[in-house]
Structure 1
């Protein structure tokens, strides 16, 4: 069976598309293997500032502030003091994921405590 010029062009186009797909998959796999970077948003809906730690870096977010964050870990982990009225720091941690929106807010059962929801 003879291959027409049109069939040959379609075949070549298909091969090139497959190469492009493999290249894209290799880039995605490399990003996943290396951990990539995840991006997420953190907001403070409490009436006070909240100290928190992301990737072993200490940060503070003021009341009403909304901040874009990035982590080189997947999932990322935010640690914070859930009960700021007690002496000393009692860390609570929460995993954060790419594209997520997270909010520090007063805990419903005890408004003097803080929770991170999202």
Structure 2
């Protein structure tokens, strides 16, 4: 029995890199993560305990789009309400880890 659902497909070319000038993304969005050099932030050690890293919880968010609406419109929302988003269908999603933009991807059927 096959199951269908929605998943997230990420491609290498969708990965975002910080701009060289260090400017922030428009609209107050979080900055794209800088790369981390091997051993950065660990004094006196060149190795990292992988099991320690594997146990660190992170929050992953996938942003489909945004909307700016008035409070009165927000209060009027109910089941079945439609909120138009800033992104059109087929545009890439934004993937955040701990509120830091790390990649862009697309929804695929799996």
**Higher Cα Rg, which structure:** 1
Q: With the length of structure 1 as denominator, give the TM-score of the two structures.
A: 0.21
Q: With the length of structure 2 as denominator, give the TM-score of the two structures.
A: 0.22
Q: Which has the higher contact order (CA 8 A, sep 6+)?
A: 2
